[in-house]
Amino acid sequence: MEVVGQLQKQYVDFITSLFREAYLDDQYVQLQKLQDDSNPEFVVEVVSIFFEDSEKLLNDLASSLLVSISLFWVFILCLRPSLLLMVVLFFLLFLFQLYSQQQVVDFKKVDGYVHQFKGSSSSVGAQRVKNACVTLRNFCEEKNLDGCSRYLNLVKQEFYLVKNKLETLLRMEQQILQAGGTVPLLEQVPLLWKQ
Amino acid sequence: MNLGGLQAVKSMSVPSSSLSRKSGDGVSDQFPAGLRVLVVDDDPICLLILEKMLKKCLYEVTKCNRAELALNYLRENKNGYDIVISDVHMPDMDGFKLLEHVGLEMDLPVIMMSADDGKKVVMKGITHGAVDYLIKPVRIEALKNIWQHVVRKNKDEYKGKDCEQTGSVEDGEQQQKPPEDAEYSSSANEGNWKNSKKRKDEEDEAEERDDTSSLKKPRVVWSVELHQQFVTAVNHLGLDKAVPKKILELMNVPGLTRENVASHLQYRLYLRRLSGVSQHQNGLNNAFMGPTDATFGSMSSFNGIELQALASSGQLPPQSLAIIQAAALGRATNKSPVPVPLVDQRNLFSFESPKLRFGEDSLLNNNSKQINLLHGIPTNMEPKQLATLHQSAQSLGNLNMQLQSQSSQSGSLLTQRPQSQPRTPLLNEINGSHVSTLPSSLGQPIMSQALPSSVLPRNGIENVRGGTFGSVSQPSSALDFSVNHGTEFPGNSFPLMSNSGIPILTSKGMLQEEVKSEMKVPRGYLPNYDTFDELNQNRTQDWGVQTDGSTFDVSQHSNLQGSLDVSPSILVQQGFSSNLKSEQSRNIPVSKATFAVGDSRAGNISNPSQQLNSSPADISQRIKAERLPNMGFQNTFFPEQFGQDDLMSALLKQQEGTGAVESEFGFDGYHLDNLPV
């Protein structure tokens, strides 16, 4: 009992901090509400799918911005043509040839990916990820390659952060349930009423 | 869907959902529980969440992650869903496209959703006809209320059905065909398209007002009247210039948005594609008769466009245009009963067309094909078409419009080719004069008509131009009809080619319609005949013009539709005799024109007119050619014509040799040009 109580308190504290730091938003509360006895693992399901899809999406995003990166590498290697570097340079040039068709970054494609990522992250309640996506989208619209690649990194960063947090959260829920307790409903958390 | 149906569905699905019904539902009766929702989104997370939420609302959820799949679901099970929720950005198909498809094919309410909350996108959703636009992340509260869109749509549909609205679904249209036909017949009977149109306008406006007043702007149901307005507007503008904005302005229907018009325009194109591919003549009839004239109108315009394209190529235009005109004319003048007799006539035409083909068989074939196409269409459209024709004739700006309004076309033919114009009135006159002094009068009318400007001042021509055929050809109704055409003609910019082609085409394609119209015109024109005789005598050059006139007549004949039956025969004789007498190349054409007029409908006339254009030899050929079609149509005068047939065929052959562009109808403008005036 005490363990459960403790676990529950820890859980509430943790989730409150997540909300406070905008890792999660009200949508997560909605997800929790959807979970019921007919589908007790609903939140876990959704979150898992979110993780999988996002990884793929981020890879696609990164590859769509890859051309510029490879070019950048080629550039740098040209500066110091030692033998080793020459080899590396050749290799990079080879890579560049592969991507040479993609001379121009397809910002529309990037925008599409970002839009999708924005949609899924907002559906799960990953607020910071969503905000980063919005900024990234703006860079895409401006066709700002530098901004895009920078913010892509930021998006990635935020994603891995929230993934971490959510995994922790779900683990705590499991612990509570295993301990025989019930997971406190988020609605009852006062802080959440602000959102 | 109606609430009853919904209830039924609900009852079926209730057993499963009622068990899990939450107390929070608070709805006394079971609705909206059991609402059948189809969710389309490529994001699996969203899909999952939405499904869960909708299930929580006690709705029946079907989810799919691809738009094509969704469309398949919807098509397989037309009544299997009440509402569709779709994402905007999807990889395989744009959400708006899906929205349009669903709206057009199934007429279900569609809710768009997206993480994109930009004003432009939301506006786009509204203009494309979405009943709602949700911003992701979607909350369950937003989904709880979606049943209102279903109820609203049902309410609208009820209203629409009361007013004989046709859904965008062809099936529905077909079912409504009988009432629509009756409606058209009655309106056609009135003989005043404008009146009926006004009535319908009022009805439409009332409907629209109701719709707008009761709801923000649910999906527009394209009722028969509304579609007719649409068709009229398109005709007015001409297919090339029929942009949604202008159509909207012309239609002047309160509450109608440009987007509605745009999607309707697309839908008509889509329907036409479908019908053109899969439908036979009869099929077309069914398809279009179901959708009512609207479809036909659009089809005509489309056909016109095609024909015009052909015309531009120089090969098909006259014929196709004629056909279209004939079709348009036929429809305008003919009521629903016409289709049957028209079909017969059509056969005649097709039968004759081989004979007529002295220049370009292919053209004829095309014409006949087009005729088929047109035949299918006119049946329902006739009353409306006629009205449309009248209206559009006035403002014809392009060929398409001309096609639409065949009667106007003959008028336009006149304008474009003064020569051709004279012909038409001449032909009309010829028709009118019938048995009377055909020979001489034929020549004269033709002359008068042939002369672009000079002739026109003369009785017939002027009448033709001003549409006051009555003055020239005293016949009452017939002339009036032709007069109308005449007025329309000036407005038409129909190339001469089309002129020649048109008569033939009209006769061929529009046998149905032309029969009627032609019948009218000839009678009217017969009196004019006398006046034209004078004209003929006065000018030798007029002969050439006459040929034009004959062409014109021919085209007019086609416009007249049906009136030719009687007169053609007479005219033919006269023309023939005149040809024989004068031995002038020009005269011959004139006679031919008359000949054609008398013999058969436009078809015959077209032949003569064509011949008129060409040299004397051609003329004789034309006469012959004219004869041939005439024979098909005009039983009475066939014997007389036979003698001349040989001459005509010879002439026709010559014409062919000369490369009559118009092919069968070549007598129009082109021939005139060739004539050494």
pLDDT digits (tens, 9 = 90+) for A160-170: 999 999 999 99
Q: Nearest-CA neighbor of B520 among B434, B461, B409? A: B434
Which amino acid is present at B57? C
Is the model's pLDDT at B348 over the cut of 90? Answer: no
Predicted confidence band at B627 (pLDDT cuts at 50, 70, 90)? Answer: very low
Contact A46 B43 (CB under 8 A): no
pLDDT, mean of residues B49-56: 91
Task: Kindly report which listed range (A8-12, A99-103, B10-14, B223-227) carries the lowest average pLDDT score.
Answer: B10-14
Contact B49 A123 (CB under 8 A): yes
Predicted confidence band at B256 (pLDDT cuts at 50, 70, 90)? Answer: confident
CB < 8 Å to B138, chain A: 123
Q: What is the dihedral of CA B349, B351, B357, B361, to 10 degrees?
A: 100
Q: Nearest-CA neighbor of B264 among B272, B84, B282? A: B272
The confidence score (pLDDT) of residue A79 equals: 60
Report yes or no: A106 at the B interface, CB cutoff 8 Å: no
Q: Is the peptide bond before B32 cis (omega within 30 degrees of 0)?
A: yes
The confidence score (pLDDT) of residue B379 equals: 43
Report yes or no: B86 at the A interface, CB cutoff 8 Å: no
Question: pTM for this one?
Answer: 0.42
Spatial separation of the C-alpha atoms in residues B261 and B248, rounded to whole Å: 7
Record the tokens describing residue B415, joined without a space: 């304008």
Would you call A39 helix, strand, or coil by DSSP? strand
pLDDT, mean of residues B611-618: 43
The label of the residue with tokens 């802080």 reads: A191
Is the model's pLDDT at A45 over the cut of 60? Answer: yes
pLDDT, mean of residues B583-598: 40
DSSP one-letter string for A131-194: HHHHHHHHHHHTT-HHHHHHHHHHHHHHHHHHHHHHHHHHHHHHHHHHTT--PPPGGG-GGGGG
Mean of per-residue pLDDT scores for chain B: 55
The confidence score (pLDDT) of residue B162 equals: 59
Cα–Cα distances in Å, from A69 out to A65, A105, A108, A143, A149? 7, 11, 18, 15, 9
Spatial separation of the C-alpha atoms in residues B75 and B299, rounded to whole Å: 25
pLDDT, mean of residues B428-443: 40
The confidence score (pLDDT) of residue B478 equals: 39
Is the model's pLDDT at B136 over the cut of 60? Answer: yes
CB < 8 Å to A115, chain B: 89, 115-116
Is the model's pLDDT at A2 over the cut of 50? Answer: yes
Give me the residue from B42, B45, B89 closest to A46, CB to CB: B45
Report yes or no: A33 at the B interface, CB cutoff 8 Å: yes
pLDDT, mean of residues B423-444: 41
Contacts of B531 (CB under 8 A, 6+ apart): B429, B441, B444, B445, B448, B458, B459, B460, B472
Percent of chain B with pLDDT over 70: 27
Spatial separation of the C-alpha atoms in residues B584 and B575, rounded to whole Å: 12
Predicted confidence band at B227 (pLDDT cuts at 50, 70, 90)? Answer: confident
Higher pLDDT: B638 or B121? It is: B121
The confidence score (pLDDT) of residue A3 equals: 81
Report yes or no: B136 at the A interface, CB cutoff 8 Å: yes
Higher pLDDT: B458 or B91? It is: B91
Packed helices A145-178 and A107-124: angle between N→C axes, nearest 10 degrees? 20
Q: Are B578 and B636 in contact (CB under 8 A)?
A: no
Is the model's pLDDT at B107 over the cut of 80? Answer: yes
Predicted confidence band at A55 (pLDDT cuts at 50, 70, 90)? Answer: very high
Cα B629-B634-B637 angle, rounded to 5 deg: 105
Nearest CA in chain A to B138: A123
Contacts of B343 (CB under 8 A, 6+ apart): B375, B512
pLDDT, mean of residues B142-154: 88
Spatial separation of the C-alpha atoms in residues A153 and A136, rounded to whole Å: 10
Contact B115 A118 (CB under 8 A): yes
The confidence score (pLDDT) of residue B349 equals: 41
Higher pLDDT: B581 or B254? It is: B254
ipTM above threshold 0.85: no
pLDDT tens for A117-149 read 999 999 999 999 999 999 988 888 888 788 888
pLDDT tens for A61-83 read 888 776 544 555 556 556 656 77
Is the model's pLDDT at B61 over the cut of 90? Answer: yes
The confidence score (pLDDT) of residue B41 equals: 92
Percent of chain B with pLDDT over 90: 6
Higher pLDDT: A103 or B139? It is: B139
Predicted confidence band at A49 (pLDDT cuts at 50, 70, 90)? Answer: very high
Q: Are B40 and B65 in contact (CB under 8 A)?
A: yes
Closest Cα in chain A, distance from residue B257 (Å): 30
Report yes or no: B42 at the A interface, CB cutoff 8 Å: yes
The confidence score (pLDDT) of residue B509 equals: 38
Report yes or no: B56 at the A interface, CB cutoff 8 Å: yes
pLDDT, mean of residues B251-265: 81
For residue B437, the Cα-to-chain-centroid distance in whole angstroms is: 37
Closest Cα in chain A, distance from residue B114 (Å): 7
For residue A14, the Cα-to-chain-centroid distance in whole angstroms is: 19
Report yes or no: A123 at the B interface, CB cutoff 8 Å: yes
Is the model's pLDDT at A178 over the cut of 50? Answer: yes
The confidence score (pLDDT) of residue B62 equals: 92
pLDDT tens for B330-347 read 444 444 444 444 444 444
Task: Kindly report which listed range (B26-35, B115-124, B255-264) carries the lowest average pLDDT score.
Answer: B26-35
pLDDT, mean of residues B315-333: 46
pLDDT tens for B360-406 read 444 444 444 444 444 444 444 444 444 444 444 444 444 444 444 44
